[in-house]
Amino acid sequence: MSKKTVVDNKKPVVTRPAAHPSKAPTSHQRTATADAAPLAESAKPTAAEAAPAVASAEPTVADATPIAVEPEPEPVPATPAIQAVADGRKRVIIEGVVPEIDGGRFPIKRTVGDTVLVEADVFTDGHDALSCVLQHRRVGESHWQEVPMRSLVNDRWRGEFQVLDLGRHEYTVTAWVDAFKSWRHDLERWVQAEDIALSLRSGAELARKASRRAQGEDAKWLAKRAEDLAGSQDLEYRRQLGLDEEFARHMMRNADRSLALSYDKALGVVVDDERARFSSWYEMFPRSCAAAPGKHGTFKDCEAWLPRLAAMGFDVLYFPPIHPIGRVNRKGKNNTLTPMLDDVGSPWAIGAAEGGHKDILPELGTLDDFRQLVSKAKEHGIEIAMDIALQCAPDHPYVRQHPDWFRWRPDGTVQYAENPPKKYQDIYPFNFETADWQALWIEIKSIFEFWVQQGVRIFRVDNPHTKPFAMWEWLIADIKKTTPNAIFLAEAFTRPKVMHRLAKLGYSQSYTYYAWRNSKWELGEYLTEVCQGPGREYFRPNFWPNTPDILTEALQHGGKAMFMSRLVMAATMTANYGIYGPAFEMMEHLAVKPGSEEYLDSEKYQLRYRSFQDLEGPNSLHAFIALVNRIRKRNPALQSDWNLRLHQVDNEQIICYSKATANRANVILVVVNLDPNYTQAGCTQLDLEALGVDPNQPYQVHDLLTGAHYVWHGPRNYVELNPHRIPAHVFRIRHNLSADCDFDPFGG
């Protein structure tokens, strides 16, 4: 304990002068992890330094009254508030960093070659100039790469970097008070010769210090510049040396960062393969791909489909589960509970005597046959996507080997899947609250690892929202450590927050509500959310107009025009889209009963033979689908989600939107009639700036669906669409009318 000072109350007491306020540490909110350490002993203020300044009302030496001064008290420890400041000289504040997901809890998503644009609020007290850099690296690397950030307005700074490698990257923002920038700013403004001369002496000292930090040629160059600034040559000449851009570059490379401060966290970026950003999916049941009616299809039969799917422009072929199908409680045609002997059951009722999730349904072929199909598909530019459904048929080996992985009812039976009033007697869900949950998680991960070893890297996961979030975060991260190009599609038609959580924790793409967004307002609101909202940093929408589970009322009653318009919108609104292929090609639209979205004679429960002749005949959309996919692949504007812009049309039955590359070299304008029955017309009110169009010049719109060309002027132009001919325009904007003699029919 320090000694108490004893003072004679009759005598005035002198309070020792406090340290100058500019020398006292200031307490401010910590913004960098590095600043969390306590003050070093040598940096702690004394009690006197910590005390506030006192008005000078004390007696002076000239006072007649004697002054009694006790010995100086022992220093007292710094207050906790000051101890929390690692170095009070670090005055920069960094906040408002974007993109940042949930305070840095989750990474953003990009694909190889993308640019990550980062902004932050960076400022300090007073008027000193700042320097700010954006730092980035692959996770695990020790060295940061960096690019300078540029000041915008209102203390906002921006920088960007490109990600060139698959895997996990990280970035942060670092800034410091830049004495050289402040000096240079003042040097430009001094007028009096004595002020300029003194400033040049200060600049010379800054250059000398920088030369001591620098190495090699930079050190020599800066030392010479210091001599020149302090020399005897003409004052204005030396001032120009101080303002020289080359001098500024040398000083920036060798800046004094001893008081630099970094943002308090490194923010993550998951960099995926390009197919995570742009893909065209075709779903089909391999068991329905036989070359003749009445036969069970095989992987060998599927090989014959590859050339036509490649010609149609699809690059992902997605199979429902290909594993042994349970026999206990097997479902019959149209989901009946009384199957016939020849009924094949639902592929989602996984597991039987022949095996489970790591085995092949014998009727489809062997594991070698599957590997060959995967290889053949890649030769055609197609990748096989597998459906992973984490559930079991009653006769799955897991039920016998791990009974504690399932819920047991009081009557001694296993709880089957239910979604009242629906019952799924042929499916047992896992009990993720089992005491043996760790072994269950490990086994589930091993399922994905097994199929990765067979050449599969794209997984469509069935109902992931009914499994623990923590498991998915761990599993996906672990898989991507060894297979960074793995892609996970979440089949989660559920609440928005749940869908977004799955995307944050690792799912590459997600199914969406697109199938049920029909009106112009519904579509516009949804597109604004998924393409322009904050979720776009991690949520990649995949638009499907139909699935084996979803035959919407619009498709049931809208006829060919509805199938065409829904296809065009799915394929041009988002960069990832898919169709339940054969059913969509043939425009199958009969539901099992009124009010249901289930297909009549659904392939989920039976074989459905379709010949190539029918699939490519006059009652098929085969050629139209192929055309739309060619347009997608030849126009890079359609290969991103972020660039979608809505445009006004004075008709609620017509929606209009555009996509453009950043340099406006490729601009696509889409106009769709949402009414499948009647011709609709209206006038557009286009955002010409978004289209890269000069408002004072005419421009050409080339319809890539029909080949027609029109010359338009300004934002307001007439459109008319007869759904019985074609319900949409997909225009390529041509800014140079003289180039109309040299055009690609698909806009390439």
CA distance 608 to 301: 14
Residues 37, 40, 46, 49, CA torsion sign: negative
Q: What is the dihedral sign for C-alpha 109, 458, 547, 673?
A: positive
Q: What angle do CA 153, 154, 155 make, to 5 degrees?
A: 95
User: What's the Rg (C-alpha) of the chain?
Assistant: 35
Compute CA distances 161 → 116, 132, 148, 172, 536, whole Å. Answer: 5, 14, 10, 11, 18
Q: How far apart are CA 489 and CA 474, in angstroms?
A: 16
C-alpha distances (whole Å) from 209 to each of 204, 238, 254, 308, 386 are 9, 18, 9, 70, 62
| 190 touches 196 (CB < 8 A) | yes
Residues 6+ apart with CB under 8 A from 705: 568, 627, 628, 631, 726, 728, 729, 730
CA dihedral 383, 389, 390, 396 (to 10 degrees): -110
Task: From 335, 306, 334, select the one nearest 319 (Cα to Cα).
Answer: 306
CA dist., res. 281 & res. 581, Å (int): 9
Catalytic annotation, pick one of 100, 426, 462, 603: 462
Q: Which of 491, 537, 588, 675 is catalytic?
A: 491
Rounded to 5 degrees, φ, ψ at 207 are: -65, -40
| DSSP code per residue over 343-369 | ----TTSB-BTTBSTTS--GGG--HHH
Among 430, 426, 425, which residue's Cα sits nearest to residue 402? 430
| Nearest-angstrom CA–CA distance, 113 and 162 | 6
Q: What DSSP string describes 516-535? A: G--SHHHHHHHHIIIIISGG
Give catalytic status of residue 462 as yes or no: yes
Q: What does the alpha-carbon distance between residue 626 and residue 616 come to, in Å, rounded to a whole number? A: 11
Catalytic annotation on 426? Answer: no
Q: Are 685 and 715 in contact (CB under 8 A)?
A: yes
> What is the biggest distance separating any 2 CA atoms in the chain, rounded to whole angstroms?
122
**Which positions are catalytic?**
462, 491
